[in-house]
């Protein structure tokens, strides 16, 4: 992105630049695909086929177990709402964290009216969630732990394996909001004992906006008991919405079978075609390599900006501080850097970056009120630079230089 085009450092909000394969797939779907499950003519069957392929790609990507347990939604927000509001019951207790997004906090707040209550794990001075508090807040009514894997504010990552094991040992459902980490960090549902993974298609998965969903893990597969009876936990998820499904039209309720029960209305076929192409792209490039490239830039940016006057960072940068090169950092944090310059309003810094050099960054509160309160940045906000392998060193250097000018002018 050079030659007068915007320099984009807001990948945590959405991946503005898509691989060309994604654009081709979206256009192909718009030209050749009708509605799925609505007819047996070619373009309708094409739509059904691409949805099937996308379901398979998503299931494989996160190591899910059953194809019918991949549920598509418009975005992760809808996925989280459908699962939490469909599954939790009055009297249930939930544990979440201070780094969670409003996509989790607001549904949990809504659920208070229905008798669901929740506790929030706090953080240390670097914003690292205190997992040791799990043992202090757990109750006999605790039905789920719902957490944001990678903070869109600090870039800190939560140890999924540790929480997954803790939940498994207590029979608690483990729900992960992977909005930020999916596509950046490998996530294996089985290895980490994840029961529900919620994802959005338009960020690190490089799909279009309007794609997302959730996957139910092994615990939701039909379990046969020794006495021959079966337990199907997935049957307990009540649909949040109902409507056309293309099948069983004379039923007054949604069909029981998944994914149909939780996917009313016409599927967004172009978005799912694009999401499938985005995942194929990740598999082809390799997410390790892409993560390393983005981390290289974030690491470089962090060390350069650290040398500017009055800069204060938010998050755990221990891996960047203690490694002699980005290659040694590993999956310790997401490739994003969040900071403030003295007491300058974050929105002013973002505006100056745009005005001076058409640099796109995200200021403000990032829809994550609790972690902002923790850092006392409710008024000032924070400036967030988030990186992708699509960025270049020249763009990163340009941003550092403009930040230097802003420091000179405002401090
Ligand atoms: C951690 C986290 N969860 C949820 C969301 C919501 O994503 P969407 O708007 O795609 O539903 C975001 C978006 O920034 C996020 O960062």
**Residue pair 353/399 in contact by the 8 Å Cβ criterion:** yes
**157 confidence band (pLDDT: 50, 70, 90):** very high
Nearest to 260 by CA among 34, 36, 32: 36
Going from the Cα of 101 to the center of ligand 1, the distance in angstroms, rounded, reads 7
Residue range 299-305: mean pLDDT, rounded: 98
Give the distance (Å) from ligand 1 centre to CA of residue 325.
Answer: 30
Q: What is the atom index within ligand 1 of the atom nearest the CA of 151?
A: 1
Structure tokens at 337: 């850097």
122-135 average pLDDT score = 98
The more confident residue out of 168 and 224 is 168
Task: State yes or no: pLDDT of 226 exceeds 80.
Answer: yes
- Cα gap 400→387, rounded to integer Å: 14
Helix (H) or strand (E) holding 399: helix 393-410
- In the predicted model, is pLDDT for residue 189 greater than 70? yes
- Domains for the chain: give ranges and CATH numbers: 7-17+287-410 (3.90.1150.10), 20-282 (3.40.640.10)
CA distance 32 to 238: 34
Would the pLDDT of 110 be above 80? yes
Residue nearest to atom 16 of ligand 1 (CA): 152
**What's the chain's average pLDDT?**
96
pLDDT tens per residue across span 228-273: 999 999 999 999 999 988 888 899 999 999 999 999 999 999 999 9
The average pLDDT across 357-367 equals 95
Residue percentage of the chain with pLDDT more than 70:
99
pLDDT number for residue 40: 87
Q: Ligand 1: which atom is nearest the Cα of residue 177?
A: 3
SS3 146: strand
Cβ(22) – ligand 1 distance below 6 Å: no
Is the distance from the beta carbon of residue 338 to the nearest atom of ligand 1 less than 6 Å? no
Angle at 138 between CA 132 and CA 143, to 5 degrees: 125
Inform me whether the pLDDT recorded for 367 exceeds 80. Answer: yes
Does ligand 1 come within 6 angstroms of the Cβ of 200? yes
CB–CB of 182/148 below 8 Å? no
At 13-66, the pLDDT tens digits run 999 999 999 999 999 999 999 998 877 899 999 999 999 999 999 999 999 999
Any atom of ligand 1 within 6 Å of the Cβ of 81: no
What are the helix and strand counts (H, E) for the chain?
12, 14
pLDDT more than 90, % of the chain: 92
The answer, yes or no, to whether any atom of ligand 1 lies below 6 A from the CB of 154, is no
Q: Is the CB of residue 10 below 6 angstroms from any atom belonging to ligand 1?
A: no
Q: Is the pLDDT reported for residue 138 higher than 80?
A: yes
Both tokens of 79, joined, read 């996925």
The Å distance, Cα 358 to ligand 1 centre, comes to 24
User: Looking at per-residue confidence, does 59 or 224 come out higher?
Assistant: 59
Pocket flag, ligand 1, residue 76 (CB < 6 Å): yes
Average pLDDT of the residues in 308-318: 97
Q: Is the CB of 80 under 6 A from ligand 1?
A: no
Confidence of residue 1 (pLDDT cuts 50, 70, 90): very low
Host H or E run for residue 396: helix 393-410
CA of 76 to the centre of ligand 1 (A): 6
Atom of ligand 1 nearest to the CA of 203: 10
Q: Whose CA is nearest to atom 10 of ligand 1?
A: 75
- Residue 2 — very low, low, confident or very high, per pLDDT cuts 50/70/90? very low
d(CA 221, ligand 1 centre) in Å: 27
- Out of 13, 73, 74, 77, mutate this one to test ligand 1's pocket (max ligand atoms within 8 Å of CB): namely 77
Measured from the CB, is residue 46 less than 6 Å from ligand 1? no
Residue 175 beta carbon below 6 angstroms from any ligand 1 atom: no
Q: What is the mean pLDDT of residues 119-129?
A: 98
- pLDDT value of position 247: 81
Indicate the pLDDT class of residue 5, thresholds 50, 70 and 90: confident
Nearest ligand 1 atom, CA 201: 10
Pair 172, 192: CB distance under 8 Å: no
User: What is the C-alpha separation between 135 and 156, in angstroms, rounded?
Assistant: 21
Residue 81, classified by CB atoms within 10 Å of its CB into exposed (0-12), middle (13-18) or buried (19+), is buried
* Cβ–ligand 1 contact at 77 (below 6 Å): yes
Distance between CA atoms of residues 204 and 294, nearest Å: 11
* Ligand 1 atom index nearest CA of 79: 11
Is residue 199 helix, strand or coil?
strand
The pLDDT confidence band at residue 3, using thresholds 50, 70 and 90, is: low
101 CB less than 6 Å from ligand 1? Answer: yes
């Amino acid at each position: 992105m050079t030659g007068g085009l915007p320099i984009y450092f807001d990948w945590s909000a959405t991946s503005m630049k898509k691989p060309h394969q994604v654009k081709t797939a979206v256009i192909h779907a718009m030209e050749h695909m009708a509605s799925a499950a609505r007819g047996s003519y070619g373009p309708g069957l094409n739509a059904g086929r691409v949805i099937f392929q996308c379901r398979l790609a998503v299931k494989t990507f996160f190591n899910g177990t059953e194809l019918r347990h991949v549920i598509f939604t418009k975005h992760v927000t809808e996925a989280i709402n459908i699962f939490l509001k469909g599954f939790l019951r009055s009297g249930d207790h939930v544990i979440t964290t201070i780094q969670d997004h409003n996509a989790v906090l607001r549904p949990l707040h809504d659920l208070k009216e229905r008798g669901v209550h929740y506790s929030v794990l706090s953080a240390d001075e670097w914003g690292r969630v205190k997992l040791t508090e799990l043992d202090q807040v757990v109750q006999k009514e605790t039905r789920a732990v719902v957490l944001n894997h990678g903070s869109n504010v600090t870039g800190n990552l939560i140890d999924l394996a540790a929480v997954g094991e803790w939940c498994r040992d207590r029979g608690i459902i483990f729900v992960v909001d992977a909005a930020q980490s999916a596509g950046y960090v490998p996530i294996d549902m089985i290895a980490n004992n994840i029961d529900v993974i919620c994802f959005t298609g338009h960020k690190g998965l490089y799909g279009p906006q309007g794609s997302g969903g959730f996957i139910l893990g092994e615990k939701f597969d039909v379990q046969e008991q020794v006495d021959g009876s079966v337990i199907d936990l997935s049957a307990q998820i009540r649909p949040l919405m109902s409507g056309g499904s293309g099948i069983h039209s004379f039923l007054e309720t949604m069909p029981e079978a998944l994914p149909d029960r939780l996917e009313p209305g016409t599927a967004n076929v172009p978005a799912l075609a694009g999401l499938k192409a985005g995942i194929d792209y990740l598999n082809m490039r390799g997410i390790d390599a892409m993560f390393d490239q983005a981390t290289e830039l974030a690491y470089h940016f962090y060390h350069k900006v650290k040398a500017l006057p009055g800069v204060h960072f938010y998050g755990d940068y221990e891996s960047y501080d203690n490694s002699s090169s980005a290659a040694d950092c590993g999956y310790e944090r997401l490739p994003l850097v969040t900071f403030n310059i003295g007491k300058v309003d974050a929105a002013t810094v973002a505006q100056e970056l745009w005005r001076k050099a058409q640099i796109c960054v995200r200021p403000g509160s990032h829809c994550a009120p609790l972690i902002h309160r923790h850092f006392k940045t409710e008024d000032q906000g924070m400036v967030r630079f988030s990186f992708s392998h699509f960025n270049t060193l020249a763009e990163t250097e340009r941003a550092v230089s403009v930040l230097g000018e802003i420091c000179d002018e405002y401090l």
